């Protein structure tokens, strides 16, 4: 499976896109690929249907012809407005955007609403403030938390719609 992920990532990158997420479901019969532009002009420069078709066609050729991978369905789509954040550069790129982060292991809550009996905090919803020395900075309720990248279980953008 790791080899398949590497091949998908290499192919997507060669086409000028970033592999944001990759899923193999139904015992590898369903492959889902989520992409974003490798060098977007800004946060509004999003993936189009033509981009997805291009990547889908190229991946289909690589998986079937070159690797002889047996799959039933290949889905290629944009990472979306609520895209997954995994790498340090993701958190840097989306500084200023709202995100939800869930930690593997909770940290002591030293925020303004904390009390001596407050349990360790695992979920944060707020505005990304960047990355500093391997820690993601996120402002929640007027307080900036420093979350270790290696303790982040899941992180996604959480757009606000007016």
pLDDT string in tens for the chain (162-residue length): 558 888 899 999 999 999 999 998 888 789 999 999 887 776 667 899 999 999 999 999 998 887 778 889 999 999 988 999 999 999 999 999 999 999 999 998 887 777 777 788 999 999 999 999 999 999 998 899 999 999 999 999 999 887
* pLDDT on residue 25: 87
* pLDDT on residue 4: 85
* pLDDT on residue 141: 85
The torsion defined by the Cα of 96, 91, 125 and 22, in degrees rounded to 10, comes to 130
Residue 126's nearest CA partner among 108, 139, 143, 113 is 139
* pLDDT on residue 96: 94
* pLDDT on residue 146: 95
């Amino acid at each position: 499976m790791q080899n398949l992920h590497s091949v998908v990532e290499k192919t997507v990158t060669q086409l000028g896109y970033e592999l944001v997420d990759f899923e193999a479901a139904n015992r590898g019969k369903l492959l889902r690929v989520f992409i974003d532009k490798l060098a977007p002009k800004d946060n509004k420069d999003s993936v189009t249907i033509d981009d997805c078709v291009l990547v889908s066609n190229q991946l289909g050729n690589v998986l079937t012809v070159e690797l002889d991978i047996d799959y039933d369905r290949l889905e290629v789509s944009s990472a979306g407005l609520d895209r997954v954040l995994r790498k340090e550069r993701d958190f840097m790129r989306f500084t200023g955007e709202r995100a939800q982060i869930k930690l593997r292991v909770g940290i002591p809550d030293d925020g303004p609403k904390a009390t001596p009996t407050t349990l360790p905090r695992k979920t944060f919803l707020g505005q990304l403030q960047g990355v500093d020395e391997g820690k993601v900075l996120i402002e929640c309720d007027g307080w900036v938390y420093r979350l270790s990248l290696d303790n982040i279980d899941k992180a996604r953008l959480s757009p606000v719609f007016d």
